[in-house]
A and B are shown apart, each in its own frame.
Chain A
């Protein structure tokens, strides 16, 4: 019996943008990534890694230049009509900037109402359903809150509202792009608990985009590390963080200061070998352990079958690492 196809699959997806000076920026170059039902995958990368572009490609806000994106086995590029509607309902975003994520002229009621109506909820059911959504995200389900405008809510409240809007469509996958970036430490826990609870109750998968490996560690079963448009390492979170193989993953781990002071920043060496327009490994200019082949040839993403741990590095598998 063939297994059911993964919920979302990227196959060799590439996307580039033309910049002001007419040069081409390769935001994403040949990414393979799979997300299964009810799975939580973290995509970890810094600015310029292409993670947000990947999110927008998955949401079909952008079209890939190469490769394809499959939803339940069907390519999303060709979708239309009812199939496209079904796809749109199934994948919902929670964006980073809570200040800009709502139409400033719509009240909370209008924003949720719009989502509910798109989810084919009858007009007379909208109000009770909206209150239900507010309860689900632990906001007071009162007329007072429903009448408020986005700028009258705190950042934490807006983030909850964004989550409420996302679950209004009863999606199968939520793509959360840095949902904790503006949040204070005390609120982070609240939002993470909420996301975890909703994931369980509503059987939602997550693609959690973040630059913070500790959040990936705590929340995601699988993690993919992305650097300049390419996945450099991927696998079960515990495994990848226990045995980080790619030099960039190691650098990320070594760069994050910890509360117990166990990370020694003095150990970080900055390497800068000139620009990375070359044909070799995308991390070569900053890699502390690069050798000649790294400059010449891009390394393939190679998997260790037993663990499902994939790394794109010429030096992986050599002894000592």
Chain B
């Protein structure tokens, strides 16, 4: 099978001394909205090291966006409760960071690109001015005009685009602008939340290619959040899969996608392939996602899992290594050596 030629330069293997640029340890998070709290994240962990590209995948409502926003402190204020776990960004514990302290961390070391570029950009400001804002704030030593020109060129936009207003540009071009603004902050970590979901297939390919190239050339880490497994496969060396607020399996993307350990990941990959089986049926995952308004004690997939054990509804297991590699882990009782059937 062809190796991808545009994957980011991988960092050293785990085990050697490298600092994670962002680390989430067993995060528990809920939103209060009226009567029922929604437990959006119920035990998610992930680590992103410098200069590496990590993917976070899951279906809608699995909590991946909440997790991404937690890393950059963009959770809805007043309504969000972090109930447990730790968040460490650039070596600093930010779990209980106040709203006033977060702006110091946004842009640099962590910059974010969102799905909807139209609402992200100020409709009344020219593009060039918006990029300049980022440069001026995060790159005080640089000459703003020159740097803005450089960034616009870096994202393959024509120089005249600097004078345009957001509504004059296409979706793909606006997304390039969002990337330019993020780069202007000289981030250590770029968090991209569904950056190409709203774009056409051909535009998506160009933007993904751009992100991959920039990630390598600018030496930054990338956390790519997407419901599209193929996109993550194209760009990310490692992947975390989330389901109902938990990270359930993670490891090198190729390995996880080719031989998934967790039954949900296995079912998800089957369904994502959009091919008919021998009986002419499309693979599905029967049943529905559990209601996040209730805290779930055991594994949230137990109700839909074809291989569920009795213990699965009681408790969620700790991560176990798959195939003896400490780069691949899964949270599933099927892999726990001492789980009773």
Contact = CB atoms under 8 A, between A and B. Distances in A.
Contact between A and B in the complex (any CB pair below 8 Å): yes
Interface of A: 46-47, 154, 156, 184-190, 192-193, 196, 211-212, 214-215, 217-218, 251-252, 254-266, 268, 270
B202 A184 contact: no
A217 B275 CA distance: 8
Interface of B: 1-2, 4-6, 59-60, 156, 200-206, 208-209, 212, 227-231, 233-234, 253-254, 257-258, 267-269, 271-276, 280-286, 288
Contacts of B60: 184
Contacts, number: 118
A270 B6 CA distance: 16
A211 B6 contact: no
Contacts of B202: 46, 251-252, 255
A258 B274 CA distance: 11
Nearest to A47: B200
B234 A261 contact: yes
B231 A257 contact: yes
Given A190-B282, A255-B201, A257-B230, 18 more contacts: A47-B200, A184-B60, A189-B274, A192-B274, A193-B282, A196-B280, A212-B274, A214-B274, A256-B230, A257-B234, A259-B230, A259-B257, A259-B269, A260-B257, A265-B4, A265-B6, A265-B212, A268-B206
B5 A257 contact: no
Nearest to A252: B201
Contacts of B231: 257
Contact of B229 (A185, A187, A211, A251): A185
A265 B200 contact: no
Contacts of A251: 202
Given A185-B59, A185-B271, A266-B209, A211 B2 contact: no
A215 B201 CA distance: 13
17 contacts: A184-B59, A185-B229, A186-B59, A187-B284, A189-B274, A189-B282, A190-B284, A192-B274, A192-B282, A193-B281, A251-B202, A252-B201, A257-B234, A259-B273, A264-B2, A265-B6, A265-B234
A261 B271 contact: no
A66 B271 CA distance: 42
Contacts of B2: 261-262, 264
A211 B200 contact: yes
A260 B229 CA distance: 10
